[in-house]
Amino acid sequence: MPGTTSATPKLEDLRVRLSEIQQGHLLRFADDLAPAELEALCAQIAALDLESVPALVREYVHSKPSFDPGSATIAPPPGYMRGGDWDIERFRSAGEQLLREGKVAAFTVAGGQGSRLGYDGPKGCYPGGAVTGKPLFACLADWIHSAQDRYGATVPWYIMTSPLNHEATVAFFKQHDHFGLSPDNIMFFAQGVLPSFDMATGKILLASKGTVATNPDGHGGSLRALAHSGALEDMKRRGVEHISYVQIDNPLARVVDPVFIGLHAAAPNSSGEMSTKVVAKTEPGEKVGVVCTIDGKPGVIEYSDLPEATAAQRNPDGTLTLRAGNIALHMLSRSFVERITSGDLSLPYHRAEKKVPCIDPETGQSVDPSEPNAVKLEMFVFDAIPLCRNSIVYEVERADEFAPIKNAEGNDSIESSARIQTERAASWLDARGVKVPRKSDGSSDCVLEISPRTATRPEELRPESIEPIRSGEKRAI
């Protein structure tokens, strides 16, 4: 009988607290649970920030907050644009020096649920290499190998998981011998979670009679997780000063980019706090956040919040004025993350309507919704940009660094990513005089993948060591 377990006082306390915030249903099935199950449920509930629940329901479930720039002046951010008049080699050298000194760490956020991909396992285990089919984690690990070989120093790798995929991620690394990297230089830690809410009622959903439905707290949760996990301490101990932030789902992400590191750390107009790599937006309505300044302060505006007329403004040369499209590649300084997480860091929440299987709080029956039934809240890492004194952007060629895998098919799928990986490789080979077979529409008649261990830019390819490429061939270089 649950009523006779050691959990009883906690249970009664919790009942009172929950009914005060209109979430009493979470313990409705307590009598159906075995003592250990009930204890686990109580622990899960007690770990939630219950005080904040009524405000979250009011502000994010029953209303849909949106950003209104009003009369604010939105302008392009200070930055280093493609074709601009700046000395790329100077910043490459600065970045390389920091790498030689072991002052740079890689940080991958891999705690997402990958619901659009529909893959059964952590997204990082998904095959991302166009030819090799190697897992996304391996694609990123190759960059770390490449940097360690070139600069003769360790690049420690911090990997954020979520409580939902932590064990599977750690086991995958073990199974793959940490992709040849030293496990001593890889640290895994789980991010926090938030409860998922019933969209209609604001009640926290139950995944089962004994489990609250939760979701990871977004990639913005990574900053707090860096602090709470001890990762920042570990970085300090190792002498790491700069953190290269990449997401798990972009196999072309330059995990270690000396130019970006150099700009972030040494550009005269950089605060060295948080910098962002961007690509030129293709059209005003493209669904990508824009890095900008808002009344002179650095920030990112989501595409849905950017007024149409502002998005459509053009420079005299015809390029979009606000073209700095955010591709979620950032440099952060350790001291910046320490500063913003030392107090009570509160990034805003973003609301998403999702389908979340749950149980009916009245009947206890399972519900597998065919339409979104839930509100999930997440924090976004780019909301830390306004906390910087100033923040620069570095514009790169889209096809060179951005081949995301988000969906099972169509746009941003493994097929589209493999095409981008191939075309990037083809352009590098072209630049080095290696003939790439083409179809009549000009696209490559082959599948190509260049490992960063072979080359991180065209100049590093050795054309003499590359056999002629045949039509229809799949070639990993």
Q: By the criterion CB under 6 A, which residues form the site for ligand UTP?
A: 109-117, 123, 160, 162, 191, 216-219, 221, 247-249, 378, 406
For residues 156 and 238, is the Cβ–Cβ distance under 8 A? yes
* Shortest Å, Cβ 125 to ligand UTP: 12
Rounded distance between C-alpha atoms, residue 451 and residue 430, angstroms: 17
Q: Kindly state the smallest distance separating residue 453's Cβ from ligand UTP, in Å.
A: 22
- State the minimum distance, in angstroms, from the CB of residue 472 to ligand UTP: 33
Residue 296 contacts by C-beta under 8 Å, 6 or more apart in sequence?
73, 75
Smallest CA-to-CA distance from 62 within 198, 194, 193, 206 is with 198
190/222 Cα distance (integer angstroms): 9
Strand partners, 350: 378
- The smaller minimum CB distance to ligand UTP, of residues 102 and 404, is found at 404
d(CA 142, CA 146): 6
Pick 113 or 211: Cβ nearer ligand UTP: 113
**Closer by beta carbon to ligand UTP, 117 or else 186:** 117
How, if at all, do strands 206-208 and 74-75 pair? Answer: unpaired
CB of 93 vs ligand UTP, minimal distance in Å: 30
User: Which CB atom, from 55 or from 408, has the smaller least distance to ligand UTP?
Assistant: 408
Residue 197 identity: F
Helices assigned H by DSSP within 21-135: 35-46, 53-56, 88-100
Q: Smallest gap, in angstroms, from Cβ of residue 281 to ligand UTP?
A: 19
Q: Which is nearer to ligand UTP, 213 or 265 (CB)?
A: 213
Distance of closest approach, residue 75 Cβ to ligand UTP, in angstroms:
27
Nearer to ligand UTP by Cβ, of 13 and 49: the residue is 49
* Cα separations in angstroms, 459 against 216, 279, 429, 431, 456: 41, 22, 10, 8, 8
Tell me the closest approach of the beta carbon of residue 379 to ligand UTP, in angstroms: 8
**CB closer to ligand UTP, 373 vs 390:** 373
Q: How far is the CB of 412 from ligand UTP (least distance, A)?
A: 9
Shortest distance in whole angstroms from residue 362 CB to ligand UTP:
29
214 forms beta bridges with 195
Distance CA 429, CA 440 (A): 19
The residue (of 356 and 448) whose beta carbon lies closer to ligand UTP is 356
Q: Which is nearer to ligand UTP, 128 or 210 (CB)?
A: 128
Nearer to ligand UTP, 124 or 452 (CB): 124
User: What DSSP line would sit under 415-449, residue for residue?
Assistant: HHHHHHHHHHHHHHHHHTT----B-TTSSBSSEEE
Kindly provide the residue ranges of all beta strands, DSSP E only, lying in 63-199, ordered along the sequence: 74-75, 79-80, 104-109, 157-161, 186-190, 193-195, 197-198
Instruction: Extract the tokens encoding 183.
Output: 């496990």
Taking the complex as a whole, the smallest distance from the CB of residue 160 to ligand UTP amounts, in Å, to 5
Q: In the complex with ligand UTP, which residue's Cβ is closer, 128 or 361?
A: 128
* Number of alpha helices (DSSP H) and beta strands (DSSP E) in the chain: 13, 22
Residues contacting residue 358 through CB under 8 Å, at least 6 positions apart: 196, 198, 205, 206, 207, 213, 366, 367, 369, 373, 374
Q: Is 277 helix (H, G, I), strand (E, B) or coil?
A: strand
| Smallest separation, CB 251 to ligand UTP (Å) | 12
Cα-trace Rg, the chain: 24
- The letter for the amino acid at 287 is K
CB-based closest residue to ligand UTP: 112
